[in-house]
Amino acid sequence: MKTELDYQSGKSPDFLKRLTSQGLTIDTIRDELRIQLAEENIVTKGITVSDAEVDRYIKAKPQEFREPKRVALLWIAVKGADKKKQVDDALATNSSFETVAVQYSEAPNARATKARFSTDVYDAFSPALKKLVDGINEGKTSDWVKDPGGQELKFYVERKAPARNIDITPIIKLTVKRQIALARGQRGSDLQRKLQAKILAAKVEIPNKTMADNWKTAIDNLKASDPTRASADAAATATPSAAPSTTP
């Protein structure tokens, strides 16, 4: 299990930090990994993927191994001339953009996110935002711009990073190898369907709230991905019981 934990941490350096911050213990994380690995081993039993196949896959799909252009932004959203002046006056005192944004921004979750914009992927920006940030250097602030809803917006460009090819590390190659094996195994087995049926039929009680919420979301997604199950649930909900009520 240490090998799998090292592998997951190699894929995502903040793997443990992210999960433990949600209230999960190391033992719980190990148990989850043990279950996932057991399922993967069942699906991929007897399947071998060569290094040459991995290399061919990487060569055939270069777009999967490319880091997109990123622009890290902080932002402020306010309404009204008075609020704009308060922000401008605060920035004029050489307070950091983040400090001013956390204090004055009316953007959703400005304090929780420390005024960070929702995404740093450049291709996900609107055309207007792309044009705006294209003209701003790192460490600089935009002029005020008005959005269609009437809010006044100001952006700070924290960092820009061009698109680049991802280094093909041993962990990347191992990930590709496992994905190819899993895809082949799933095509030749109905294990996934059987597992889904058992999971949906199981009654699971989870004392940890974070894990319970994650489990509920996963179950809802699983039901949504199964049209037969969704239709059955809908029919059960919509059809009144024919049995007489025993409630006085």
Taking 60 as the threshold, does the pLDDT of residue 87 lie above it? yes
Domain that holds residue 206: 190-233
In a domain, 11, yes or no: no
Residue type at position 234: A
Residues 75 and 158 grouped into a single domain = yes
Q: What's the pLDDT at 236?
A: 38
What is the arithmetic mean of pLDDT over 41-68? 95
Taking 50 as the threshold, does the pLDDT of residue 134 lie above it? yes
In a domain, 16, yes or no: no
In a domain, 181, yes or no: no
22-50 per-position pLDDT tens digit: 888 989 998 889 989 988 998 899 999 99
Residues 94 and 141 grouped into a single domain = yes
Residues 82 and 128 grouped into a single domain = yes
Residues whose CB is less than 8 angstroms from the CB of residue 143 and which lie 6 or more positions away in sequence, other chains included: 154
Residues 79 and 137 grouped into a single domain = yes
In a domain, 153, yes or no: yes
Residues 95 and 137 grouped into a single domain = yes
What is the arithmetic mean of pLDDT over 88-107? 96
What is the arithmetic mean of pLDDT over 49-65? 96
Taking 50 as the threshold, does the pLDDT of residue 234 lie above it? no
Q: Please provide the average confidence, as pLDDT, over all residues in the chain.
A: 86
Cβ–Cβ under 8 Å, residues 84 and 105: no
In a domain, 244, yes or no: no
Taking 90 as the threshold, does the pLDDT of residue 204 lie above it? no
In a domain, 175, yes or no: no
Q: Of 162, 178, 213, at which residue does a domain stop? A: 162
Per mean pLDDT, which range of 35-39, 128-132, 169-173 is the poorest?
35-39
Total number of domains constituting the chain: 2
Q: What percent of the chain has pLDDT over 70?
A: 87
Residues 152 and 205 grouped into a single domain = no
Residues 126 and 75 grouped into a single domain = yes
Q: What's the pLDDT at 213?
A: 79
Q: Of 162, 179, 214, at which residue does a domain stop? A: 162
